[in-house]
Structure 1
Amino acid sequence: MSSSQQPTADDADIAEHLQLSAFKGKFEVTDFVGSVSERLIAKSKADPGPFDPKPFIRTFEAAVDKLIAIRKDVQTKTEQMEKSVRVAEREYSKKMAALSREFDTVANSFSGMESRMNVVSSTAVRIGDQLETVHIERQRAQAAYDLIDYYNQFSKGDTSNLDTLRKEGRAGRRKVAVILRRLTTVAREVDLPNSDKTRETIDKYCEKFEKEMLNLFDRCYRKGDPKMMHHCAQTLLEFNGGASCVQVYVNQHDFFINNVRETRAAEDIQLWNALGDPDASPPKTELVDTETQIVKAVFPNPPVVMQVFLQRVFAQSIQQYMEQLLHRGAEVSDLGYLRILQLVHIQASLLVEDLKAHELPMASARTPYEAAEFRRSITGAAPVTISTPAAISTMLETAMEELFVPYTEGQRYLERESRSLTGLYQSLLAAFGRYHKSQRGKGSTMFDRMAQAATAALTRFGLLNRDSDRATEKQNEEPVREEDGVLSVDVAERIMKWHAEAIGRCVELSPTNDVPKSTFALLKVLSETLGQSYVEMALETAQSRLDAIDSKSEPALHILSVVKAVDLICHLWQQYINIALLPLASSSVTTRREMVQFNTQTINRIESATNNVLQRMADSIVGWLSLQLTKQKKADFKPRNDDISFARVNTEPCVACCETLEKVRDAAKESLSGKNLEVFLTEIGVAFHSLLLEHLRKFPVSATGGLMLAKYDIKSYQDAITTFGIPALQERFEFIRQLGQIFLIQPEVLKSFITSNYLGRIEPSLLKPYIALRSDWGQFEKGFNDRGNTAGGVGLKDRFGRLSVMMKELEGLRPMEVCPAYRVGSQPGFSMPSMPSMAGRGFGGGSAQNGS
């Protein structure tokens, strides 16, 4: 097919798809081809014959020819439009260049105009300054002329002009006030004949004018006319600074008049029934809020007036009421005095914070001339000072500080707080001290020394008097009771509660920089009371009781309850120090370090005393066990009548020792816990183990006796120690059990038995002292000895020493470390803060190692 062929009938169908408008917008080639061949496809499907491609070829050749023609037309139009755009751009550039030149011309014109205007304005400013200078000079000249004229009139005794001006109303009175102030200044400077008489005349007139204005202000104050009050205050401010007007306002205020008439502080029953919640309190801020509005409306300088008013409130009302409260509190007790002082400080602080919300801005005059007059009037008034921003807040802080200086400066407060705590603690622990003193008899004890020191301190502070002496004598006459000398956690909590209240007052009343030192001082008071006068006194009594017990008496296990109380009290004490006291000293690294060191020394001293008590208790228990073992009879393990022996089962020393061990276990678990319990029971178990090793070397054993020893006595010992729950002790007494088996084993298997298990871990020769106690030892001794005895004439006891010394060679036994010292505050279930630690050692006599 060629493009020269005539168009077919189908060309008309596709003409609509070959319009230029069909290619505008979104164009898809697939859609275009589909629309062009749509009818051809339909005809091809309708024709039953084979597919004929010719209609498709003709149609698409015609479409291509048409598209080529359209492209040429579009290209032609595009070229024409591009030429038009280029021409338009050249025209636009020419127009913009012309406009730019015109704008430059206009800008230059405006610049020239501005320069000329600046020259003119500078000239106008200079002329204005000159005119203002001339005007001011003219005013000064006119004022000087008027002053000279008025001065001459006063020198002649003529005041008619001023009288007339004064009667003209508010404006006239203000002018008179300014003139009189200036005349007063001039009169002091003039030195002419008759000037003294003129000055006296002017002063009398000024005094008369001031009295009239003050009387007018007082009348308006009573009538409640704030506008006239403002006029009087403004006039007096311009006359002499307005100090007299402010004084009249403050002195005549109902608040001060009513407070002078009332006497409230001493008779408030509700206040003295509960010192912590007094019924009366410092003035409330509702009054100040009202006065602020009045002062702002009446006075031209409200901050100055509010300062005078509030200073009067603090100096008269609050201070007088505070003195009454403190005097009444001091009559009750030192604690009542301190509680009232803290309460007053809290209320005063709240009052100051509320009053700061009423800070007033400094009033400004409306014109420069009025501002100059106002500054001159203020400068000329000596009693009144210019108020600065936040002047009321500064004045309130100063007044607050001055209010409490007489009670807190230096060491006054801290000495009184220490005196109060010392007196309270001495009263609380009086019965406790008398009980322990009676238990130890007369002599110089720790309590005696503490009582003497406390008495000297109280005497120095002036606390002791005849009444307290009689009270002390009355207490000494009362009989002591057993419960008075018991350590109590409740008492310790009361001691720390009172101390915490004192610390709260210390933080409230002491300067911030002095809080660490004050806290340390009160910590010493607490340590002296809770440590020396309470805990250590009980430990000293317990030590004395243990020392007084006869070595042949049963151990006083109830004394262990003292250790339990010490543990609980010290734990609570250390928690209190770490949580409440040490954070207060965080601002002073030196003081905090000294507090930690002091507390460490105190706890080390208590640990050492507790260590001594437990060591003495352990010695008493071991001594009692040793005494029971000495009651063992020679024939207990070599009985003559086997039936009677078997009926007896355990020997009497075994029964006594097991009962003692059970009592020790129960008492220790009741009074000790954690590592302390383990150390104490380990000490008892190890010592009893050594006693048994030595004990079994002393008695001959028959076949029947060996059965009694191994099956009953040793088994009972082992069972009693097993209840301690300490694995190391269980292994040691398992060795004792196997050692007892050598009395039951047949001679022919004895050698193999002692070379196995625990016994096999030591030399067989070390077991010979025990094997030699068998009743049949002579029958197999020769065959048992594989090696000759090279140390003739020397006994086995002397050759090998105590077997307990050789126990360290038992490889399978857990090595028994030396028992560490007792640790206070080791209660289970508590997360204990950092505590002073002790060096690892046995009970009693070891040196303490300070912890951090």
Structure 2
Amino acid sequence: GLTEALFLKHKDIYVECERASMRQLYKAKMEELLAEGQQVPISVQVVTEFVSWNEEAISRCILFSHQPANLAANAKAVFTCLLHQVRQYTTEGLERAREGLREAASQRERFMLGRKVASGVASMVEGAATAGENSFRSFMLALQGCGSSVAIIQQYFVKSISRLLLPVDGAHAATCEEMTAAMSSAESSACKGLQQCIDIVIAEVERLLSAEQKVTDFKSPDDGLMADPRPTIACTRVVAYLSRVLESAFTALEGLNKQSFLAELGNRLHKILTNHWLKFAFNASGGLKLKRDITEYGDFLRNFNAPTIDEKFESLSIMANIFIVAPESLSSLIEGTPSIKKEAQRFVQLRDDYRSARLASKLSSVWA
């Protein structure tokens, strides 16, 4: 036809013109976003615009490519250009969000000496903690945008591209592999960023525990078993922080990413809480208070849907009984609960009557 006659001599280089045009559009869009100072790391609206450019290019491919094999090759080339655009956009967006996490961690470190707050900078540390929360949320928002972008590309491929590739053996499978490869760099940034998010959370939990937990929380001068039923202030603040900061993670993450993130975070929380409690001495009322705190933490962590984490906190709750029971009941408690026996020796030494009640000799047969 007339179209074919007019463009015949350009057909061999036509697809490169399309690719060059889309690269120019991408460059112009990035410059526009930079000039606007866009705050959203990854915008679904922007990715949708990439797809609209691609749809227009594909419509021209259909017009200019009369042979199915030629159409498949051109469609693949044009779609691959979209993959490169989305890969670059999402990876750079995640990296910008990761930079926010790095800056927040660096800001926190500047105002901490070991695990103690440097004198006169408490308000700055609080500011660094807020920066950590904000960077956490920004990264989760970027991750959510990345996931939505991938879904848009996959839907577009199934709806508009897949059928064009079928006439050429292997073209469909090869393009699927290219989609996977294109997203691998974003996946790498996502995994690194999630680890940074965990580090941000753990650092803040450690700070709150160090700042808020008091010796008298677990060794009250008034050692009566009619203790205050509320959790300690440190526990309340930590759980409030976790509830607040993780809200964005519950929204942004899904599937295996969510499962592995929460499992890793849950294990890290269990470890730092256990090590934290090992720094204190406990009387009976302190044991009850510890048990109350463990219940509070455990109730929150059940939102993680991680049975192994739940089991660890259930074991800790049983372990807290070591501080509550009378000295003569310790042997039966420890021997009757195999799940705590391994750690019980460290914990029993934290009883305030460990020396006066000569528990080392009384329990020697338990550890034999």
TM-score (norm 1): 0.37
Aligned to 2:338: 760
CA positional deviation for 1:685? 0.9
Asked if 2 retains the 8 angstrom alpha-carbon contact of 1:414 and 1:518, the reply is: yes
- 1:162-208 superposed Cα distances (whole Å, 9 cap, x missing partner): xxxxxxxxxxxxxxxxxxxxxxxxxxxxxxxxxxxxxxxxxxxxxxx
1:783, 1:594 → 2: CA distance? 71
Match of 2:11 among 409, 433, 439: 409
Q: Does residue 1:423 correspond to 2:1, yes or no? A: no
For residue 783 of structure 1, the aligned residue among 351, 358, 362 is 362
The offset of 1:658, in angstroms, is 0.9
The yes-or-no answer on 1:488 pairing with 2:47 is: no
Within the alignment, does 1:770 sit opposite 2:350 as a pair? no
Residue 528 of structure 1 pairs with residue 84 of structure 2: yes
How many angstroms apart in 2 are the aligned matches of 1:655 and 1:788? Answer: 35
- Asked if 1:661 is matched to 2:260, the reply is no
Correspondence list, 1:42-61, <5 A? none
**SS of equivalent residue, structure 1 residue 701:** coil
Letter in 2 for 1:521: A
Structure-2 residue corresponding to 1:57: none
Q: CA deviation at 1:629?
A: 2.5
Tell me how far apart the structure 2 counterparts of residues 409 and 583 of structure 1 sit (CA, whole Å).
Answer: 22
Which range moves more in the overlay, 583-592 or 522-531? 583-592
Aligned length: 338
1:266-286: CA deviation from partner (whole Å, max 9, x where unpaired): xxxxxxxxxxxxxxxxxxxxx
1:548 aligns with 2:103: yes
Q: Which amino acid aligns with 1:493?
A: T
Change (3 A) 1:765 1:719: closer
Contact 1:706 1:740 (8 Å CA) reproduced: yes
CA distance in 2: counterparts of 1:569 and 1:629, whole angstroms: 39
Shift of 1:639: 2.3
Deviation at 1:705? Answer: 1.6
Q: Tell me what 1:677 maps to.
A: 258
Q: Deviations over 1:217-266 (max 9, x none)?
A: xxxxxxxxxxxxxxxxxxxxxxxxxxxxxxxxxxxxxxxxxxxxxxxxxx
Residue from 288, 294, 315 that aligns with 1:714: 294
Q: Is the 8 A contact 1:668 1:681 kept in 2?
A: no
Counterpart Cα distance in 2 of 1:400 and 1:545: 52
Measured after TM superposition, the shift of residue 401 of structure 1 is: 4.0
1:517 matched residue in structure 2:
73
- The one of the two structures with greater contact order (alpha-carbon pairs below 8 A, sep at least 6) is 2
Alpha carbons 2:84, 2:182 under 8 Å: kept = no
Structure 1 pair 608/788, CA: closer, same or farther in 2 (3 Å)?
Answer: closer
8 Å CA contact retained: 1:665, 1:724: no
Tell me how far apart the structure 2 counterparts of residues 718 and 577 of structure 1 sit (CA, whole Å).
44
Output the CA distance in 2 between the equivalents of 1:520 and 1:776.
76
In structure 2, relative to structure 1, the CA distance for the partners of 1:635 and 1:675 (3 Å cut) is same
What's the CA shift for 1:749? 2.1
- 1:223-622 correspondence to structure 2 within 5 Å: 401-406=4-9, 408-411=10-13, 413-432=14-33, 434=34, 480-483=36-39, 485-512=40-67, 513-532=69-88, 534-550=89-105, 552=108, 553-554=128-129, 555-556=132-133, 557-559=136-138, 560-622=140-202
Alpha-carbon distance between aligned partners in 2 of 1:723 and 1:403, rounded to the nearest angstrom: 65
Name the CA shift for 1:547/1:768 in 2 (closer, same or farther; >3 Å).
same
CA deviation profile, 1:14-66 (whole Å, cap 9, x unmatched):
xxxxxxxxxxxxxxxxxxxxxxxxxxxxxxxxxxxxxxxxxxxxxxxxxxxxx
- The CA distance in 2 between the partners of 1:673 and 1:498, in whole Å, is 29
Using a 3 Å threshold, how does the CA distance of structure 1 residues 604 and 718 change in structure 2: closer, same or farther? same
Q: What secondary structure sits across from 2:149 in the alignment? A: helix
Give unpaired runs (5+ residues) of structure 1: 1-347, 349-398, 435-477, 790-852
Letter in 2 for 1:509: F
**How far off is 1:785 after superposition?**
1.9
Does structure 2 conserve the Cα–Cα contact (< 8 Å) formed by 1:487 and 1:538?
yes
Task: Give 1:719 shift.
Answer: 1.7
Aligned mates of 2:335, 2:244 — CA distance in 1? 37
Change (3 A) 1:593 1:675: closer
Q: In the alignment, residue 606 of structure 1 is paired with which amino acid?
A: A
Residue aligned with 1:690, SS:
helix
In 2: Cα distance, 1:685 partner to 1:430 partner: 41
Q: Which amino acid aligns with 1:669?
A: F
Structure number with bigger Rg: 1
Distance 1:788 1:573 in 2: 60
Q: Is the 8 A contact 1:755 1:761 kept in 2?
A: no
Give the deviation of 1:516 after TM superposition. Answer: 2.2
Instruction: State the alpha-carbon separation in 1 of the partners of residues 204 and 157 from structure 2.
Output: 41
**Matches of 1:584 and 1:739, distance apart in 2:** 64
Name the residue aligned to 1:16. Answer: none
Offset at residue 682 of structure 1 (A): 1.5
1:625 paired residue number? 205
- SS of equivalent residue, structure 1 residue 786: helix
Taking a change above 3 Å as real, the CA distance of residues 693 and 400 of structure 1, as seen in their structure-2 partners, is closer
Tell me how far 1:604 sits from its aligned partner.
1.5
Q: CA offsets per residue over residues 803-850 of structure 1, 9 Å max, x none?
A: xxxxxxxxxxxxxxxxxxxxxxxxxxxxxxxxxxxxxxxxxxxxxxxx
Instruction: Quote the residue 2:120 is aligned against.
Output: none
Q: What do you get for the CA RMSD once the two structures are aligned?
A: 2.6
Write the letter of the residue equivalent to 2:25: L
CA distance in 1, matches of 2:4, 2:215: 88
Distance 1:700 1:676 in 2: 39
1:750 aligns with 2:353: no
Matched with 2:119 is: none
Query: Aligned partner of 1:786: which letter?
Result: S
The question of whether the paired residues in 1 share the 8 Å contact of 2:262 and 2:304 is answered with: yes
Q: Specify whether residues 767 and 509 from structure 1 end up closer, same or farther in structure 2 by C-alpha distance, changes over 3 A only.
A: same
Question: Given the superposition, is the C-alpha separation of residues 787 and 562 from structure 1 closer, same or farther in structure 2, using an over 3 Å criterion?
Answer: closer
Tell me which amino acid in the other structure corresponds to 1:663: R
Deviation at 1:525, TM superposition (A): 1.8
Q: Alpha-carbon deviation of 1:646?
A: 5.1
Q: Which has the higher helix share?
A: 2
Q: Kindly state the Cα deviation for residue 539 of structure 1 after the two structures are TM-superposed.
A: 0.4
- Give CA deviations for 1:530-580 in whole Å, capped at 9, x if unaligned: 220x21111010111111113633233312111111111111212222442
Q: Deviations over 1:459-488 (max 9, x none)?
A: xxxxxxxxxxxxxxxxxxx5x4344x4422
How far the C-alpha of 1:529 sits from its partner, in A, is 1.6
Q: CA deviation digits over 1:340-377, x for unaligned, max 9?
A: xxxxxxxx6xxxxxxxxxxxxxxxxxxxxxxxxxxxxx
Output the CA distance in 2 between the equivalents of 1:403 and 1:646.
91
